[in-house]
Amino acid sequence: MANAGLATRIVARTRRFLTLAQFKPSVPTRTAISTNTGAIYPNPEKVSFGLLRVFSVVIPFLYVGTLISKNFAALLEEHDIFVPEDDDDDD
């Protein structure tokens, strides 16, 4: 009998959790779609930054990437792990 009571409590908690999870969407949604009279709201305006967005993301990351690779190459050369050789004796 004790197991039956425990099982019903677990089922009740699971149902309560599932019903609460249904009302909390992980992605923000638009809740007001129509007015009180039934008219549908127009789609919200989309703001596209285009080239500004591309340049504000690409250029800083390219700069940081070049700084990291330059510092890492200097570290390798300093510890004689990788030292480029100037062998032009192939002629």
pTM of the predicted structure, to 2 decimals: 0.42
C-alpha neighbours within 13 Å on the C-beta side of residue 37: 2
Residues in the chain: 91
Tell whether 55 is covered by a domain.
yes
**DSSP labels for 56-77?**
HHHHHHHHHHHHHHHHHHHHHH
* The total number of structural domains that make up the chain: 1
Tell whether 66 is covered by a domain.
yes
Domain that holds residue 88: 48-91
Average pLDDT over residues 45-72: 92
pLDDT in tens, 3-37: 777 888 888 887 776 665 555 556 666 667 777 88
